[in-house]
Structure 1
């Protein structure tokens, strides 16, 4: 069988730590995908919030809402097909899609904001930077042989250079004026290795495909969950005031666009033949909603594929051979879908009260774990804490612990530590 990764050079397939020969017939990127798929970090995403907190659907709600795990799997399917259509290695793109949310903490973006505040003394917290840290340090798979005077070090899953580069949504460290970043100061050595030979600040095509697939997956699937749950009643969009509030939210949170452009995007969506109407949760209505989901994914992915091919040629190729081009109309429609879910699902007073409790849990956990460390930490992290060179490095290990927790584990650990104290 021909190796589909032959379009990628040896540097793209290189690993941080050289490994002995593996079973023939498998490509380097197939191994990357398998390592992410079989990781404990990926399994933990089943217990981390996407929109609805896992296990907190009403007792009579037959819906099983998406988690970070199901989102990652769906993102992987979308990215695999879009990347393959553009000449990228399909396994490489899927591996990046599966791995892109591994570093996210409990309680979704609420947890991320609270952990960033609690981690100020060690440089802050960012889910994307945590993903790189997890892939290259925290997830146990491979260890580096000790060099002269150096200690044995975990190198995480030891993915290929191209595999790690494809996860880098923000290929730069924390800098003034940039809210998002992809690497902590502690991990700059492996980051420099990953980015060797890459244009500064430019994302690989695989990373761009992963990023758009992420946008498509969560905007479309969260919209589907919101409609199915009954929280999003699309008939309410006939109210001009409510519609204006949704569009204002889209402009303030998701995309810089004037109201008339956003209104036109919503009108296009409402005018499609597949838009759900009168959803009553019957089997026929559920099938119609599934058709909406499939059609929206196809609409957004095909728009990017056609635009990219029109500019770069029929099969652009991987890494830095091309950039993914997404038409403005598709990006605005995607932002409107995000705003619909945010307005009708995430904007309730009850959810805001819950987010307040979640922020307190995360802040308390960092303080309580730090006060009792290393004994309060997981066994896998105690040696890191003991070896840490200063207070900032020790706090980073505590942050690693909190970031790894599922929503339920964070609540349970908080309860246990508070009771013990």
Structure 2
């Protein structure tokens, strides 16, 4: 499939204990069995998973029903929003099938999809922003850079003969496929102000090894498949969760004010520079589909129709990318740096509009704003308490990193690593214990 011996190399050479498996099957298994992946079950995707420390489900008191956007009462049983784990599993299913259709190794793409969110801290992107501010003296925080750090250093799986941790010790191709942003902070090709980056300064040695011979700042083909699968999965499923939870009535998308707000969010956050008319056309294309879940009311028949709409949307977006890419590169297998994934503009704008729908009706709810403010206080106070008391309060793994650090920046990074590893509920429990 176009994979070389260099693609199959590992940072620390090791024999295969089970002959017959491919290197990428080993990579997939290592990510799937990692503690970091399991912890994603307790980390926020869009709304708080399960019953959190506030006794809330998705930011709503668990003992009460919710009057959703359509006036529908939602019971406790309905309130099962996706977590980072379920999102990662769904992303992996989408990516595996799309990658296989384009000729990538499916285990390689699935491993990348499973790994892409491992570094996200408690409380989702809200927590990521807080940790970035707190970690400024040691190079900041970014979920994607933290994922690389977990895969190559923090996840306890492999050590070298001299005791150096190498994380899961995945192949070069797997680490490259899991890297959405292959540059350090301020190294974004769009300019120094771009916020996303994929590696911290002290992880540059392994990053440089991963990127040997690669034309910077390109992402490999498998990483592009993973990235589009991520966009597809969360844009579609966040809208599905919003409908299930009663926060969104499809009829709102036909009303003037709400529709204008959605298009404004899309233009401001998800498709900058796009004219409102083009975004309106994208929304109208979706609303015109016979499978669109108009009139969703939570009944079994409506839920089945919504699930069909979810499948239709995922198929629509994946087939659009597959068709356009095949039209450009032909029918042969595509991998690594032999091709670029081509996603038609129409599909990207439809995806952007779906993201805006979830943003407007789920993320921007007043109760979620209050919850996020509280989460920021929890993380700031937790970081202050851990830094003041370190190494006390740190788990043994991070206590050892703190003790081995050569300077204050290294000690702060150990504290940040500890906080990033926590689930939402664990962050609240540790905060309560340390602050009283």
TM-score grouping bracket, smaller chain normalisation: over 0.9
Aligned to 1:281: 298
Structure 2 gaps of 5+ residues are 51-55, 64-74, 187-191
How far, CA to CA, are the matches of 1:346 and 1:387 in structure 2?
40
- Alignment deviations for residues 347-382 of structure 1 (CA, whole Å, 9 cap, x no partner): 112111110010111111111111111121100111
Aligned to 2:383: 366
1:169 and 2:180 equivalent? yes
How far, CA to CA, are the matches of 2:271 and 2:423 in structure 1?
30
1:85 and 2:101 equivalent? yes
Of 129, 143, 156, the residue aligned with 2:145 is 129
1:53 and 2:48 equivalent? yes
Of 9, 12, 21, the residue aligned with 1:17 is 12
How far, CA to CA, are the matches of 2:76 and 2:287 in structure 1?
27
How far, CA to CA, are the matches of 1:173 and 1:303 in structure 2?
32
What RMSD in Å do the two structures reach over aligned CA positions?
A: 0.9
1:157 and 2:135 equivalent? no
1:270 and 2:287 equivalent? yes
Cα displacement (A) at 1:177: 2.2
Alignment of 1:290-305 (within 5 A): 290-305=307-322
Of 406, 421, 431, the residue aligned with 1:404 is 421
Deviates more, 1:230-239 or 1:293-302: 230-239
Aligned to 2:366: 349
Alignment of 1:189-338 (within 5 A): 189-256=205-272, 257-338=274-355
> SS in structure 2 opposite 1:173?
coil
Cα displacement (A) at 1:316: 4.3
> SS in structure 2 opposite 1:50?
coil
- Alignment deviations for residues 189-224 of structure 1 (CA, whole Å, 9 cap, x no partner): 000000001111000000000000000000000111
How far, CA to CA, are the matches of 1:21 and 1:323 in structure 2?
32
> SS in structure 1 opposite 2:76?
coil
Output the TM-score relative to the length of structure 2. 0.93
Aligned to 1:43: 38
- Alignment deviations for residues 101-129 of structure 1 (CA, whole Å, 9 cap, x no partner): 00000000100001101111111100000
Cα displacement (A) at 1:230: 1.1
How far, CA to CA, are the matches of 1:355 and 1:381 in structure 2?
26
Contact 1:61 1:229 in 2 (8 A): no
Structure 1 gaps of 5+ residues are 1-5, 147-151
Deviates more, 1:315-324 or 1:285-294: 315-324
- Alignment deviations for residues 287-313 of structure 1 (CA, whole Å, 9 cap, x no partner): 000000000000000000000000011
